[in-house]
Structure 1
Amino acid sequence: MRQFLDFEKPVAELESKIEELRRMTQPGEINIADEVARLSAKADSQLKSIYARLTPWQKTQVARHAERPKAASVIAALITEFTPLAGDRAFADDAAIIGGMGRFRDQAVMVIGTEKGTDTESRIKHNFGMAKPDGYRKARRLMELAGRFNLPILTFVDTSGAFPGIEAEARGQAEAIARGIEGCLSAPVPLVATIIGEGGSGGAIALAAGNAVLMFEHAIYSVISPEGCASILWRDAAQAPVAAEAMRITAQDLKKLGLIDEIVHEPLGGAHRDPEAALAALGDAIAQQLAPLKGLTPESLKARRRDKFLAMGKLGL
């Protein structure tokens, strides 16, 4: 059964009526096709109206939707002959970050993603997408491996942030994230990053400092979660909607600010309503961004990446 967000209540009621009509009608009874078609059209109209004016906080809820495609689903849809690689060769294998080699439209690539999981068991296994130092060191190892074998790197980010536990800090969380960012910036191969859900803080940018940064239409990308920001500024997490508005966390705001390169449009109602169409659009966008990068030299790729991020925040004075 589809999960509806709070602001989708009018649509939920209409779709519930449609399902009820279909269940109640027996073969040979009155034809309800016209009524179902009328209600379906009304539901689509409501959905279009709602999604045309989503607030940043509502987009945050869409980005966190439990049924939204996760990194593993993206990899399964876009990458063939995928061979997972595990471990940071220092401490452990962090399941919050998955990665390995495969083929994207017949091009050999290295793929890295933050995985949240899809049910209780897998969410616990993947630590809800919150990576520890071992995960970021694994990601850096895979980036170095990609450079050695001249493989373009594709990353898929969906995390509320790096794991904040004391054991992560004890094993050098900040240093591991910094090394991850350094790994992105120093990779001698093309790197295309996509924010597919949440892009939270350094836990996201450790995988997202790419030549091209894409975002799904209803994804979010920020230095801190709206709840975290509200707790710091107002000492009240209930102010999260206000914080979300102030932080400019949506793909549309970030594109205007020049912090991302392309917005990947989602099916009406979000990627979770039609994952196949959403991932097909993402594949096309990645291919389009990757094509002009393939012919560049390692020095040019690194210089472009460096200049891109150094230019962020300049006032043009």
Structure 2
Amino acid sequence: MKSYLDFEKPIAELDARIEELRKTADGSDLDIETEIAKLSDKSQAMLASSYSKLTPWQKTQVARHPLRPHFVDYVKLAFTDFVPLGGDRLYGEDSAIQGGFARLGDRRVMLIGHEKGNDTATRIKHNFGMAKPEGYRKAIRLMEMASRFGLPVVTLVDTAGAFPGIEAEERGQAEAIARSTEACLALGVPMVAAIVGEGGSGGAIAIAAANKVLMLEHSVYSVISPEGASSILWRTPEKAADAATAMKVTAQDLHELNVIDGIVAEPLGGAHRDPEATAAALARAIGRELDALRPLSSAALVRQREDRFLAIGSL
């Protein structure tokens, strides 16, 4: 089932017309088939035109699309032999962050990422991808395990931010995020992070302080949501579009600023329109980065990571 964003309404209307014509066609009316072909070409042209000039706020909407592939989808489409591992060995299991052993092609990796869920039940189960302290402590445990076994770490980031509830604060949310970020920076094995949807605040950086950081073409990465920034700066969430532009949240802006290392192209119309092609492109990009990092020693990997983040923002 297709789901259209607000700025895609003209495309939605055209596609609805195409579906109506298909229902009336009996396979013998050449005029209808010709009209369908013309309208389909027009729809694709409109889609290409629209996605070639998306604003930062529109990209934010695409990054949040309800049908956009999540961690569980990439596990099925890009990785094999996934063995899930749970629990932080301290408090409990947090389903917002998933992880375990996996294979990317012929490479054994430790795979960690946020899972938002794809319907009401799974979104509640995974807390909409907003992790609590036990989620970040689980990530730390898995990263340390990867280091012991000499396995590279791959993370897939997709969260609006860490869970802001009082119970998370009571259990040490800020400390858990800081410790997880520290664990990333101290890893003696290669680490590649990919922002596949939203990369929100400390909830994202906690598993994204990697040797190489990639972003899908229409994903976003920021210190606060556009709505949050708008509420702080203008005392209203109505200026979210202006905030998104000012914060430079897009992959293109962040690549130009050297905050990220590469952009992975998405299929026309976004990852949700072709998850298989998106997963294949992401797997290839991550594989290339892992292969490039493989010759580096543990000390060199830590130093490269440190230099990378200290250089952000320098003139």
Work out whether the TM-score is over 0.5.
yes
d(CA) in 2 for partners of 1:76, 1:178: 30
CA drift at 1:112:
0.1
d(CA) in 1 for partners of 2:30, 2:255: 51
Contact 2:87–2:94 (8 Å) recurs in 1: yes
Deviation per CA, 1:252-295: give whole Å up to 9, x if none: 00000000000000011000011111111111111111111111
d(CA) in 1 for partners of 2:208, 2:75: 16
Contact 2:98–2:113 (8 Å) recurs in 1: yes
Q: What residue is the counterpart of 2:74 in the other structure?
A: 74
CA drift at 1:29:
4.5
Contact 2:85–2:99 (8 Å) recurs in 1: yes
Q: What residue is the counterpart of 2:202 in the other structure?
A: 202
Q: What residue is the counterpart of 1:192 in the other structure?
A: 192
Q: What residue is the counterpart of 1:48 in the other structure?
A: 48
Unaligned 5+ segments in structure 2 are none
d(CA) in 2 for partners of 1:42, 1:30: 18
Q: How do 1:269-280 and structure 2 match up within 5 A?
A: 269-280=269-280
Q: What residue is the counterpart of 2:175 in the other structure?
A: 175
Q: What residue is the counterpart of 1:291 in the other structure?
A: 291
Q: What residue is the counterpart of 2:314 in the other structure?
A: 314
Normalising by structure 1, what TM-score? 0.98
Contact 2:95–2:125 (8 Å) recurs in 1: yes
Which residue type is aligned with residue 123 of structure 1? R
Q: How do 1:63-102 and structure 2 match up within 5 A?
A: 63-102=63-102
Which residue type is aligned with residue 158 of structure 1? D
CA drift at 1:79:
1.3
CA drift at 1:78:
1.4
d(CA) in 1 for partners of 2:221, 2:310: 18
d(CA) in 1 for partners of 2:30, 2:202: 59
Deviation per CA, 1:15-53: give whole Å up to 9, x if none: 111111111223545552211110010001101111111
Q: What residue is the counterpart of 2:235 in the other structure?
A: 235
Deviation per CA, 1:89-148: give whole Å up to 9, x if none: 000100000000011111111000000000000000000000000000000000000000
Which residue type is aligned with residue 84 of structure 2? P
Q: What residue is the counterpart of 2:221 in the other structure?
A: 221
Q: What residue is the counterpart of 2:21 in the other structure?
A: 21
Comparing 287-296 and 185-194, the one that deviates more: 287-296
d(CA) in 2 for partners of 1:49, 1:113: 32
Normalising by structure 2, what TM-score? 0.99
Which residue type is aligned with residue 314 of structure 1? S
SS at match of 1:292: helix
d(CA) in 2 for partners of 1:165, 1:241: 26
Query: Are positions 1:132 and 2:132 aligned together?
Result: yes
Contact 2:25–2:33 (8 Å) recurs in 1: no
Q: How do 1:4-15 and structure 2 match up within 5 A?
A: 4-15=4-15
d(CA) in 2 for partners of 1:79, 1:45: 33
SS at match of 2:135: helix
Unaligned 5+ segments in structure 1 are none
SS at match of 1:62: helix
d(CA) in 2 for partners of 1:86, 1:231: 36
Q: Which ranges of 4 or more aligned residues in structure 1 deviate by more than 3 Å?
A: 27-31
Q: What residue is the counterpart of 1:251 in the other structure?
A: 251
CA-atom RMSD in angstroms:
0.9
% identical equivalent positions: 60
SS at match of 1:242: helix
Evaluate the alpha carbon distance shift between residue 30 and residue 78 of structure 1 in structure 2; reply closer, same or farther with a 3 A threshold: closer
CA drift at 1:152:
0.4
d(CA) in 2 for partners of 1:50, 1:77: 27
Which residue type is aligned with residue 105 of structure 1? G
CA drift at 1:76:
1.5
Which residue type is aligned with residue 70 of structure 1? H
Aligned length: 315
Which residue type is aligned with residue 279 of structure 1? A
d(CA) in 2 for partners of 1:32, 1:110: 52
